[in-house]
Structure formats: C-alpha cells, structure tokens
Structure 1
Amino acid sequence: MTKEQMRTLLETSVNELYAASIEEASPQELFQALAHVVKHAYADDWRQTRTNILAEQQKQTYYFSIEFLPGKMLKSNLLSLDLLTTAEEVLKEVGTSLDEVAETEKDMALGNGGLGRLTSCFMDSLASLGLPGNGNGIRYKYGLFKQKFIDGHQVELPDDWLRSGNVWEVRKESKAVPIHFGGHVYLKENEAGVLKPVYEGGFTWRAVPYDTAMVGYQNQHLNTLRLWSVEVPSEEEAKYATLESRQALENLTAVLYPDDSNETGRRTRLMQEYFFVSAGMQSIVRYYKKMNLPMEQMSEKIAIHINDTHPALCIPELMRLLVDEEGLAWEQAWATTIKVMSYTNHTIMAEALEKWPVDMIKEVLPRMYQIIEEIDRRFIEGLEKVHPCDLLNRTRIISNGQVHMANLAIIGSHSVNGVAKLHSDLLKSVVLHDFYVIYPARFNNKTNGIAQRRWLQLANRPLTKVLDNTIGESWHHQPEDLTLLKNYQEDETVLQALADAKKTNKIALAKYIDAHCGIQVDPNAIFDVQIKRLHAYKRQLLNLMHILKLYFDIKENPNAQYHPRVFIFGAKAAPSYHYAKSIIKAINETARMINHDPQINDKIKIVFLENYNVSLAERIIPAADVSEQISLASKEASGTSNMKLMLNGAVTIATLDGANIEIRDAIGDENIAIFGLTEEEVYRYYAEKNYSAYTYFENDHRLQQIMNAFIDGTIPNIEWEGKEIFDSLIKYNDEYFVLRDFDAYCEAQNRIDIAYRDTRRWQKISLMNIANAGKFTADKTVQQYADDIWQIEPLFAHVKEPNDASLTQSV
C-alpha cells in the first residue's frame, strides 16, 4: 500500500464513520478510521489463511489460556504489514502524529501480567513463523481492574476498556454454542444398549465468539484469537427479564479472576473456566468434523494446549464430546484425548496449583465431575499393579474432598513442560516428582521467550535505529542475529550511540513521570526498575528495604559519593491480597517521605507508576538502566520482564531463579549482578527447619533501623501496614528469606553503583545484554513447542504451488 493509497482509504474511512473530513477528525476518530484501513489491508490474507489451512487439512494448535495481554494493536499491526512508516508519513501530512493517534487506543484488559503477556508473545510468534495456531480465551468486559492510588493505598476501579467498542474484533454470532451448568445428570441405556447421559434441570447460557486477527510479521499469514462472551439464549430471554437474574450471567465474563475469598467468587471462577473451555472445545470439534475424518484420528489434525491449570477442564470436556456426543468408546476417547492434549505448568507455588471442592464441581458441573471421577478411577486401576498405593494416592485427581486440576492436566496430557530449566528440573525433582516417576517421558522444558518485534522494534525506536545502522535489519526476522552486535563491543562510536538511545528514552520517561505523577526526575540518574505482579515471593519488599538503607546512609553522611537513583515500580496486587497491598502502601509512603526530604537533595527518587500494563511497560523498559529480578530462588518459574529489560540494554541484578540462570549463562557473570541464596540452599533450610529471621535482625544494627522504620513512625501513615510487614518478617519468620538475602543484595547493588560510574564499562555490559537477548526470542520457544509437542508445520510448507495468483500471494 502506497502513501497515496493509505491517505485515500483513510479519508474514505473518516467520511464513512464520522461524516467528516480527515482534517476535522479527532485523534480518537483517526485511530478508529486508521484501524479500519488496517483491517482492510489484512482481511483477504486472514480469510485466505483459514481457507488454505482447511483445504490442506493442516494440523493446528489451539492455545487455551485464561489470560491474553496483547497491548495496543495499531502499531503492532502496522509493523507486521510493513505499513508503520507509511502511516507515520500520512498522519504527519494531516497535521498530527501516529503516536498521538495510537495513544487513544485502549489496552485490551484481558490479562494480569506475565502469563497473559507470554500468551500474546506466543500468538505473535505463531503467526510470524507461519504456524497454524489459534488462541482461545474470555472476552472480559472489565479485565483485572484499573489501579488507582488514593492516599498511597491501591484502589481497584473498573477498567471499562470496551466502552468505545473494540475495533479489532469480529463478532461471529453464527459460531455461538450453548454451555450448560448445574442440574442433575444420570446415565441411561438407549435402544442400542449404550449408556447416555440424561440432563435434568440446570440452565444453559450462550457463548458468542469474537475473533481478532493475529498478524504475522510481513508474511501474509494471520491466525485467530477467539474470545468468548456470555449471552442469554434467545429462547430463554423471558427468564432473564429482571436486573438481578441478568447479573449472575453478566458476571461470568465481567472480570478476570473473580474474588476467590468468598463462595460466590469461587463459583463464578469455576463457571468461567468451564465456559471458555467448553465453548472452545465445541468449536474445535465442529471444525474437525468438516474434514470428514474419524474422531479417533483427531490428534493428527488438532493439538490443544492447556496454559496453566485454568483450562484443565479441556480434558474431561473433550471426553464428554467424544463419548457422549460422538459415540466413541471410553478407551478410544481417552487415547485420543491424551494424544491431543499438552500442558504447561507455570508455577511451583502450591496455592497456584488449583483445587476445587468436590461438592462445588458436582453442583456446578455434574457431568464434568462424573467424567473426572471415572478418569481418576481408571488411573488408579490401570497403575495399581505397577506403582505403590501411596504413590498413586498422592497423585490421584480426587482426594481429601478436592479435585486437583494440575493432576488432571498431567494425567490427561502427553506432554508436561516447565518454562525455564531450573523450573522444569524442580518440577521433576520436587513439585511433581511423583508424576515424574510415573510418566518420565512426558516431562520437558521450554524456556519462555518474548516478542522482540514489540519489545524492541515498537517500544524502542531509538535503539532499533542504532541497531539497524550497525548490524543491519536481519534481526527483525531472526532475533538471534542480535549477536552480531558483539563485534562492536570495543567500538566507541557504537557504544556512545547505544548510550544516546538510552538517554533519549530516559528523557521521554522523565517527561511522562512529571506529567502523570508530578515528580521531577533526572535522566542522568540510574533508572532502577522493578515491574511485575506484587507478590511476597517477588520481594519488592527487599527492594524497599535497600532504598531505606540508602536513605539512612545519606542522612547520616550527606557528603558521601553516591550516584543519584530513580527507583521505579510498576505492580498490581490482587484485590484480596492484603499483605501485597500493605507493601504498596509502604512503598508509596516511603516515596512521599524521601521525595520531599530536602536533605536527600534528589539523590534518591521513588516513583510508583499506577495501573501497570503493556503500554506502560513499553515506556518504562526502554528507559531502564537496572533490571530488578530478585525473587527468592526456586519461586519464579521463568520471568519474562528479565528478558525484555535485557533486550533493551538494562543490566540485571538477580537471584539464581527462573530464567535468570539462563540469562547469566548467556552473558557471563561479569555482565550481571548475581546475589543471594541458591535453590539448593533454600531447600536445605526447608529440610533442616533452622532458619531464624530474628537472629539476622538481632545481630545487625542496620537491619534493626530499617525494620523499626516500619513501626516507629519513621515512615509516616503506615501504622497497620508497617506492623503487618514487620510481623511477617520477625514474628512469622520471614517466609521468603528477605533478611537472609539482604546483605548480599546490598553488596550486589553496590557493585551496580561502581559499574555505572565507569561509563565505558557500563556501556559494554549494556551492549552484551542486548547482543545476547536474541536467545530469548519467543520465536525459538514456539518453534520448539511446534516441533517437540504439537507437531505442526508452517502453512507454506504444505500449500501446493497454485495456479491462482491470489492464493500464491497469500502464502
């Protein structure tokens, strides 16, 4: 598309949508109009991709996830269509800018943090590799929540991201499916003597899909993200005439992670999980039947991936469809299900391995419970002569009145993977060791990756320009070509150009902070960044305690040499996670205290940016000097902010946890600041039960000063929050070894400070981080999934050379 063609289409779109000229249109109207032009540009290829996949009967992956976090899509789609520069030029001609227009787009509120962003990186990579792979999730009306700070406290507001609609989605009402909840189910023989379920009572809601194109990077391949919304079946409108009767229905797809601290919230969450699973599975089976192939051959054409335990009901739901609806014998259906399903575990935290009360599943999903019960019975029966009874009892799906969803996901899948080498090793040796004994061949590792296209080409245009001028543009398609940058680690011109790009990004972030927070920060300071979900194991508290140490040091010795730092936080706490919200309050009150202390003289600034999301990350990450990856070793499955910050030239301070280990191995010890307990040392403390947080507190005057600041009024306005934090470390013995790692963390921070003052050394370290970041591309990770687990191939590997010119163009 030429610039002239785009301008003509944009003018037409503005006129048709708003009966206005392009010069009269507001930035928001220009966004809507330009989005329609983009959709016009990819519509034929989207249709042709689907047509080709069906014509070739190509095997596809369906990626089930309760979270997707795509971020804004205008610039991403323009980049993938090779129209980004064209759009910039057109909008400049009409007196505005692409940045101003794109700013009006809402972030899709479909996820929380790393899990949701990972799925979106995978969607990007699947399309960009030409692999047939589709997402399946929920179209949340409000998503997680919009975070606001009021008097330092986190307050949750509705994130009404759909208020103006979602220009990228296409409603597919003809593909709607019924979802049944509740009632009573019993089995009855039909005329052929086959047991069939009979449903009595309960209610049926309607799942309507909204499809969004996942545009491959400059390859004319488009996959589909299908999100489901709940509606009243037309034949049952009368039942939902009152506001109260509609509320329960609308709550189903209202928010991500309904509050599970009460019974109503837990029930809604269980229904939510079954809703998108059943809708997606029905859609897949309907598609597969178009091929006129035997149902027991489904695994040759369909791969279904369970992303964390939330979609584990995929397994019994496929069994329901195959046995109840398609008439397969149980044994045939089970063999098919295992070959179709694969599962990624994203945690070793026990509380994150979902469990549901038996009574709740019986009441809400009676047929699901019957099938799970039979899966559980056959699991025990099939292995009781092979493995000891106590091993089988520890691994069974139903035990102690609960249904264990991770156990279901493992037993019903042919592949179980972790998301970093350490994480996968811990699954085999500790967390899921019993299952590893039973199914050793199922376990494998797939270290997470990120989409360099968004996190460098889009988020960091100044750095992209330097890289293009230095090593060429091959890394756009092959991110591992970033390694070419190693050839320039002694080139002062390149090192300075990289530093200048960083400075440009820091100036831009400083302006944003001033405009949105009223805090003025110096771009010459070290920008020290911790951006991730607020959770005790991620140890934002350790970061805060180090800040307090620096504060007291400067107060005691204001003339000491110290390079100014800006500590930047971005994090949401779950609404019911009281302790995490107390840490947020403590950080905000410490910020207020330090930022307004004239004696500190701007040597320390603290900025907690509210409502952290993808778009905010795209501002922060390019400007970061230091990347905080300080979770307790053995707790973080992988992490992906570590990879994004590394890609943008930040230097990592880290424990040997998750993918930090592989980052260290890639860049070398001299280019990362490692500290703290190792995974072996953590588990030794667990085994010996001899950790005493009070001993560390008692023997360290500095720690006493810092800890007492939470309870003696030094930090104002945190009487209750401070006591909760103090007690968590002293009274309840510091679950995540914050006091144990504190000295080592401070020493590592000192190494960071020394390195930063050596300008040339710091620039080389930054260069080496960028040069090695290509190893952590989602393209590589997704290719490993495709080869090892899903057995899918690029579409163009199968499409025959056609006579039709339009078909040739589309592949």
Structure 2
Amino acid sequence: MDELVKEALEDDFRVNLEDAENIKRALIAYMVRVVGHDPRSAGPRQWFLALAHVIKGILSERGMKTSRAQYGDDTRRVYYLSMEFLTGRRLMKHLLDLGLEANVRTALEALGQDLDVLAEEEPDPALGNGGLGRLAACFLDSLATHGYPGYGYGIRYEFGMFSQTIEDGQQVEHPDNWLRRGNAWEFVRHNVVYPVRFHGRIACFRDETGRERCEWVDTDDVHAVAYDLKVTGYDSPVISNLRLWSARATTDFDLRFFNEGNYIEAVKDKTTSETLSKVLYPMDTTVLGQELRLKQEYFFVSASLQDILARYLRVHEDLSRLHTKVAIQLNDTHPALAVPELMRLLVDIHGLDWEEAWKVTRETFSYTNHTLLPEALETWPIGMLEHVLPRHLEIIYLINHDHLQQVRFRFPGEMEVLRRMSLVDEDTQRIRMAHLAIVGSSKVNGVAALHTRLLRETVFPEFDEMYPGKFVNVTNGVTQRRWLLQCNPMLSDLITEAVGPAWKTDLTALHDLEPLVEDAAFRERFIAIKVANKQRLAEHLEAETGVATDAESLFDVQVKRIHEYKRQLLNVLHVVHRYRQLREGLVTDAVPRTVFIGGKAAPGYYLAKQIIRLIGDVALTVNNDPQVNDRLKVVFLPNYNVSNAEITIPGANLSEQISTAGTEASGTGNMKFALNGALTIGTLDGANIEIKDEVGDDNIFIFGLTTEQVAETKRKGYNPWKVVEQDADLRQVLDMITSGYFNPQQTNRYQAIRDTLFDGGDHFMVLADFRAYVDAQARVDDLFRDPDAWARKAILNVARMGYFSSDRSIHTYARDIWNVAPMEI
C-alpha cells in the first residue's frame, strides 16, 4: 500500500491537469462520482462543487507531501494562534497559486460555464472583524509561498462576523450563516477530537515521590473537533494548514430526560456546549456574553495546544525540548490563556517540574501586540476566571508570584512599579492578559516602527527595561498575491509586462517601475486601468446601494472598522464642510468627488452606530440636492468584507488613513490602497510613517498633530470649545449636524456625538485636526486637477511599496523570532 501511495504522490498533478481537455474530463468525473449530479443538467453550484473537489484532491496530495517532509526532516514548526482568520473566497486564489486559472476557464467554457459565475457561488467566510484577521490570512499565504512549515489555529464559527444591512439609515445586524450550504474546502477530522474543560474544582495531593500534584476535577467538558483548510502558496509545493475547532457536546442528549418527554432539557447540554463555536465575538455587554467569550478563547487555545503536543509526541518523548521544535505565535491577547494552559498540560498532565515547564513555556511562545489603547488591552475579572477556569487562575497567581519576585530584585523599593507590572490589577480585581503574554513569551513585537517605540516608551516601559531585547518590531505587510495579482489583474498584467514576474514573490522588484514614471505611454495605460477599476466599483455599488456615481470623479475611500479613533467622524465633518461650500457658492471650480465610507460597528458600540447613521443622513441630503449637481456624492458601503475590498481597493484614488496619531498600531489597508495606485491622506500614525518614508513626502498627503503634539496638547489642557470658537467653518459644520439640518424629524439625534466632542473632551482630537485635514484635502483637489501629475505620484506609490509585503514580515519573524527555515520538497 505504501508503495502505491508513494507512486501516486510522486506524480505531478500538472501531468493530468496541464491542459483544458484533461481538466474538462476531471470535472465531469467529479460531477458524476462525487457531486452526484448529471452534467447535462448541472448548474453553477454543482460545477463549483465539482471544481472545488478537483482542487481539493490536489491540495490533499500536496498537504501529505508537506507533512511527510516535515516529519522526515524533523522540522521546527511555527503555529499561529488567532481568534480571527479573514481568508476571503478561496477558489480563485487556489487557481492562481496552482497556475490553473486559464485552463480551468477554457475547460468550463467548453462545458457552457463561466468561471466568474462559479466563483460567486462561494461564500465569503467572515471569520474575523478586520485587520487582525486579514493579517493572519496574509501570513499563512506568505508562509506557504516561501516554504516555511506553518500552521494556523482558530475557531470554525458557525456564524461569522454579522452581515450588515442599512435600514432607515441605521446598521442592522443579521446572522452570517456562511455554512448554510456547507464548506466545500474543509476536511473534517472526526478522529482529531480533544476534551476542553470548564468549571470544576482543584484537588491537590502528594505523589509517591512526595511532590505536590494537582488535578482539575468535576469539570464540565466539551469536545473540540478539527476541521482543516489547506492554504496554498504561490507556485509553491508547500501547503500550510489552517485548523479550525468546532465545539461538540460530549453527549448528544440525556436519554433519561428524553424518555420522560422533557425534550428541551434532554438537549440542553448539547445546545450550551455548542454555543462556543456558534458566533464570532459574542456581544460582551452582559456577564453571560463576557463569559462566553472567555470560554471561546480558552476553548480554541486548549484544543490547539493539545493538538500541538500530540503532534510533537508522535516523534519525540522529551517535552523539556518542546521549544526546540515548536514556536507558537500569539496573535494579540485573545490566545494569552495559552500560557497557563501549556503550564497546566506540562505540569499537571505530563509531570514536568514547575521551573522546567516555565522555561519551556517562555521559550515556546511569542506575542504580537496590536493596540496602544489602554481600554483595548484585554483583562478578565478574577471572579469569572475562578468560576470558569479555577486551575488557570491558580497558575496565573503562581506565575505572578515568581514574576513579582524578579520585579522586586530589578526595582527594589518601587512599589508603584510593582503595582503596574503585576499580572493582577488590584484596583479592579482583573487579570491583565497583555502582561501575562509578555511575561510568558520570549519575544514581544509591535507591528509598526512607531507602535513598537510607543509600546516600549509609554505602554510597557518597565517591562522593556526589565527584559532588554524582548521587544522587537515587525512591521505588518500584505500579500501581493491577493491584494494586487488577484484583485487587480489589469494592473498586475501591466506591471509584469513592464518589469517581469519576480514581484509576485519578491515585492521589492516593483522598484524597477520607477523609471517608467517618465514614460507617457505607461502613464496613459496606468490611468486607463484606474478608470476601468473605478467603473467596475461604480457599477458594483450602484447594484448594491442604488446610488449612481461618476467614475471620472475623485474616488475618496475610507473602509475599516467603525471606531472613534479611526475618525470616520472627521471625514464626515469634511464632507459637510465641502457640501456647505458647494451649496453656498463659496467654490466654483470644485473637483467632483465621491466619498465612500464602509465598515461595521460592534453591535454594542452605540457611538459608532451613531456615526454610521450620521453618514447615512448626510448622504441622503447631499445626494438629493440639485444645487450640488453631482459635484459631491456620499456612499456608505454596506457589509464591507474581503470580497467587497477586492473591488473597492483597486478603484480608489484617495486612501483615508486618518486615525489620531498614536492610536493605530499599524494598519494594512493603507498598504493595500497604495499598492493599487491610490494616494494616501493620513496622519503620522502606525505604518503611515513608514509608508511616507518609502514613497516620499511629496507623494503622500500628511496632516495633523503628531503623537508628541497630541500628548503635549492634552498635557496643557486641551479645550475643544476654544478650537471651535476660533474656526467659523468648523462651528457652522457642527451647527448643521447638531441642529437637525440633516435630520429635521429628530433634531437631537446626534446629541451623543456632540457630547463626546465637547463634554467628553474630544479625546481623539477630531476638532483639533479639522483645519489641517481640510487644508490637506484642498491639496488633494489641486493635484487631482492635473491627471498626469497625479498618475506620476500614484505610480511612485506602487513602485515603492516593496517593503510592505507580508513576505518581508514573515522572513523577519522566521529569522528574528521563530528560528525556522524554509522547507525543500
């Protein structure tokens, strides 16, 4: 049998699928034998399934080769733990990576099918909220493309990030049932099941050697079942694996209750258990919601670590050497419970001494921090942890005891430092998960140069002083395969024609585009491609929203999670200012502009929802005012997701990256837009700074207070009232919003926004940056009046984005943090 399998795996799939005729035969065979449908009557859904199964066969073969090579070489592997993975649709990505798109398209045409229609049959799994999940997906792509032995671990949410509709101007959340017709790409592993435990109590005793041992008993258990998704790299034989966990009850129902006719009670345990993987980020405004989220975090962490140890123990016996073969990256604090969980597994289950287990744990984990906002640093109530995870709370206390002993040695007599560095916030009686992740990791990285500097200087300065060299920077990146090659084929073809294909795996090759800035014919083609992408975006949005837009206007785009610090509100203030100027005839030669804003507000985030409603009210007024004469349009993009981004980003002229300086960790949307030829208007925040350094000061629109100026302004006593008093334009804009100009039926609708800006002290400096933002937008208008000059700067943005590839990020992680090397297959 092994010889037969070996021979099958050694056959290159391209021998059988290298031409359209063989692909056509394969599709028909899979349609009959796997999908079970008559090819004569099959529709797009059936042909999509047949094609997916053909590709899954290829992925399975390559996955087996990759796995065997890893075991054969005893490879050190990296495991990426993340609550979010926004992978996007997979069909076109797999075809692109495998080099099969052209032949598959031809084969389908011979069968009377359109590949683009088939691709629309695939749901876009919203297994993430935004940049965190998209970054994780980019990293898996880069790991596979460059041959690193990588795995992702997350949760197979039955309902992903909610589906957003705008009804009566307001966000309405609907379940995102992306699994309603199954997932054609997953491999369910019914044999890979691990128990995950909650509640219970701790029983401690002395073993035969006299050492104290503790057991976690009387627990409520749930099973974690593995579902695998194969991740292809571009033109690479290596496959990465994304393993998602689904919760299953240990028993389907209680037969005793069932026989008594109490059918609800009979399935209660099943229903309760399986809520763990039901929905992404349950609303945490209630205690029950918070507890469910805590359980979700532990659920996927425990299952993942059990799986990692099981894989290690297949070929090794000594767990004290785990860190020599395993590197685990914690993507934000959501997986931070992995630190006490690995300690529990090593000490309680596998019998390692505490000191030895702690050494292994610290050298196994690394932690990526994604926020500078204190309110976004995750903490958990001690009482909740004691109830849900009693053994882990004990372990955290023990870790904290040893940690504080070291702090006392390093900072003798400094009680305030001791208090700040403790894993326990005594004032609020909560556990600080970022502190836990820092103490339990060998390396901690920020995700942009500014972010890492601020982490070291302002957020965790004592940790940086205590652990020299632990804090490092790895600036985020995006994969050019999805965010240029796949989503912008016309520009990709132009680039490849101009400089060759090397940029697809080495983005620095885009530097060779720079001389073409002086080529008039190249600029003309570049401009034509942008107009075509804008027309595609305009048609897509008219179908979605009913708002017609002019592709000749400046497409001004801000798409990201709706949050105060990302300052969609500042964008709206400028729109209202622009509208007022047009309506009152204060400008006569205004550049026609279409402002696109998209993103989701967390269900419990009232002010973010109010901002969405304000955008809708402003859009309704502006778009129906004949005095504006199509010189200004405002469109809210509903249900923004990866698939929508693939259309939106190539069509943008202007990329809005306007967060308050010192609040955005990095951003990756800024990179995607610039890579697709949009110019950036932004603050000196996150990766904007590094983008400015790369593209040049003349090729980006920078405005606003710096991080240091924000801090100094607040230190001196920032007064938003004074700012408004000194700016008549700003005063009139605020009057229009708060007086009911855009919503006469409810004049006080935006009282909460007004209160946040004034009574709340304008924490995110929206008013303070208004004038600088308006002036920067005027510079945007001036440049856009000269299409050739705009194109020159846009081309330079594309040419100078080589640094911002996730490939570069992964190479840095591999070299400086994980100590892993590419595989050879």
Choose which of 192, 196, 201 in structure 2 pairs with 1:184. Answer: 201
User: Does structure 2 conserve the Cα–Cα contact (< 8 Å) formed by 1:694 and 1:730?
Assistant: yes
Q: Matches of 1:751 and 1:158 in 2, distance apart? A: 43
2:13 equivalent in structure 1 = none
1:570 aligns with 2:598: yes
Q: Tell me the TM-score normalized by structure 2.
A: 0.95
2:244 equivalent in structure 1 = 227
1:249 equivalent in structure 2 = 273
1:591-670 alignment runs, 5 A limit: 591-670=619-698
Give the residue type in structure 1 aligned to 2:471.
F
Give the residue type in structure 1 aligned to 2:786.
D
Choose which of 147, 150, 153 in structure 2 pairs with 1:136. Answer: 153
1:322-721 alignment runs, 5 A limit: 322-388=346-412, 389-400=415-426, 401-557=429-585, 560-688=588-716, 690-716=717-743, 719-721=747-749
1:81-92 alignment runs, 5 A limit: 81-92=98-109
1:31 aligns with 2:55: no
Q: Matches of 2:269 and 2:329 in 1, distance apart? A: 34
Give the residue type in structure 1 aligned to 2:719.
S
Tell me which moved more, 10-19 or 571-580: 10-19
User: Does structure 2 conserve the Cα–Cα contact (< 8 Å) formed by 1:589 and 1:718?
Assistant: no
User: Does structure 2 conserve the Cα–Cα contact (< 8 Å) formed by 1:208 and 1:231?
Assistant: yes
The offset of 1:392, in angstroms, is: 2.3
The offset of 1:465, in angstroms, is: 1.3
Q: Matches of 2:516 and 2:267 in 1, distance apart? A: 66
1:301 aligns with 2:325: yes
1:800 equivalent in structure 2 = none
The offset of 1:382, in angstroms, is: 3.2
SS of equivalent residue, structure 1 residue 135: strand
User: Does structure 1 conserve the Cα–Cα contact (< 8 Å) formed by 2:445 and 2:473?
Assistant: yes
The offset of 1:243, in angstroms, is: 4.6
1:62 equivalent in structure 2 = 79
Q: Matches of 1:420 and 1:613 in 2, distance apart? A: 24
Q: Matches of 2:209 and 2:108 in 1, distance apart? A: 68
SS of equivalent residue, structure 1 residue 489: helix
Give the residue type in structure 1 aligned to 2:451.
H
1:722 aligns with 2:750: yes
Give the residue type in structure 2 aligned to 1:209.
A
SS of equivalent residue, structure 2 residue 539: helix
User: Does structure 1 conserve the Cα–Cα contact (< 8 Å) formed by 2:599 and 2:640?
Assistant: yes
Q: Matches of 1:488 and 1:596 in 2, distance apart? A: 42
SS of equivalent residue, structure 2 residue 469: helix
1:78 equivalent in structure 2 = 95
The offset of 1:42, in angstroms, is: 2.2
The offset of 1:97, in angstroms, is: 2.0
SS of equivalent residue, structure 2 residue 769: helix
Q: Matches of 2:627 and 2:46 in 1, distance apart? A: 49
Root-mean-square deviation (Å): 1.4
Choose which of 773, 779, 800 in structure 2 pairs with 1:745. Answer: 773
1:280-299 alignment runs, 5 A limit: 280-299=304-323
Q: Matches of 1:377 and 1:731 in 2, distance apart? A: 42
SS of equivalent residue, structure 1 residue 739: coil
Q: Matches of 2:476 and 2:702 in 1, distance apart? A: 20
User: Does structure 1 conserve the Cα–Cα contact (< 8 Å) formed by 2:679 and 2:797?
Assistant: yes
Choose which of 129, 136, 148 in structure 1 pairs with 2:165. Answer: 148
Give the residue type in structure 2 aligned to 1:500.
A
Give the residue type in structure 1 aligned to 2:69.
N
Tell me which moved more, 417-426 or 379-388: 379-388
SS of equivalent residue, structure 2 residue 750: helix
User: Does structure 2 conserve the Cα–Cα contact (< 8 Å) formed by 1:585 and 1:721?
Assistant: no
The offset of 1:519, in angstroms, is: 0.8
User: Does structure 2 conserve the Cα–Cα contact (< 8 Å) formed by 1:585 and 1:718?
Assistant: no
Deviation string 1:459-495 (CA, Å, 9 cap, x unpaired) is 0011111111111111112111011110201001111
Deviation string 1:628-664 (CA, Å, 9 cap, x unpaired) is 0000000000000000000000000010000000000
SS of equivalent residue, structure 1 residue 359: helix
Give the residue type in structure 2 aligned to 1:397.
L
The offset of 1:200, in angstroms, is: 3.5
SS of equivalent residue, structure 1 residue 710: helix
1:805 equivalent in structure 2 = none
1:124 aligns with 2:141: yes
Change in Cα spacing, 1:260 to 1:34, as seen in structure 2 (3 Å) is same
The offset of 1:736, in angstroms, is: 0.7
SS of equivalent residue, structure 1 residue 204: strand
User: Does structure 2 conserve the Cα–Cα contact (< 8 Å) formed by 1:786 and 1:792?
Assistant: yes
Tell me which moved more, 714-723 or 109-118: 714-723
Task: Name stretches of at least 5 consecutive residues in structure 1 with no aligned partner.
Answer: 797-810
SS of equivalent residue, structure 1 residue 606: strand
Deviation string 1:591-630 (CA, Å, 9 cap, x unpaired) is 0111111111111111111111000000100000000000
1:808 equivalent in structure 2 = none
1:804 equivalent in structure 2 = none
Give the residue type in structure 2 aligned to 1:769.
N
The offset of 1:292, in angstroms, is: 2.1
Tell me which moved more, 185-194 or 426-435: 185-194
1:42 aligns with 2:91: no
Q: Matches of 2:252 and 2:619 in 1, distance apart? A: 57
Give the residue type in structure 1 aligned to 2:392.
M
The offset of 1:242, in angstroms, is: 3.4
Q: How many residues align?
A: 796
Task: Name stretches of at least 5 consecutive residues in structure 2 with no aligned partner.
Answer: 1-16, 258-263
1:313 aligns with 2:337: yes
User: Does structure 2 conserve the Cα–Cα contact (< 8 Å) formed by 1:583 and 1:721?
Assistant: no
The offset of 1:245, in angstroms, is: 3.6
1:157 aligns with 2:157: no
2:291 equivalent in structure 1 = 267
The offset of 1:351, in angstroms, is: 1.5
Give the residue type in structure 1 aligned to 2:422.
R
The offset of 1:17, in angstroms, is: 4.2
Q: Matches of 1:21 and 1:481 in 2, distance apart? A: 48
Q: Matches of 2:404 and 2:527 in 1, distance apart? A: 61
SS of equivalent residue, structure 2 residue 788: helix
- Between the aligned residues of both structures, percent identity stands at 42
User: Does structure 2 conserve the Cα–Cα contact (< 8 Å) formed by 1:420 and 1:637?
Assistant: yes
Q: Matches of 2:308 and 2:471 in 1, distance apart? A: 26
The offset of 1:241, in angstroms, is: 5.4
Q: Matches of 1:559 and 1:355 in 2, distance apart? A: 51
Q: Matches of 2:108 and 2:418 in 1, distance apart? A: 64
Q: Matches of 1:363 and 1:731 in 2, distance apart? A: 39
Q: Matches of 2:823 and 2:346 in 1, distance apart? A: 28
SS of equivalent residue, structure 2 residue 86: coil
1:786 equivalent in structure 2 = 814
User: Does structure 1 conserve the Cα–Cα contact (< 8 Å) formed by 2:579 and 2:622?
Assistant: yes
Q: Matches of 2:515 and 2:45 in 1, distance apart? A: 44
Give the residue type in structure 2 aligned to 1:595.
N
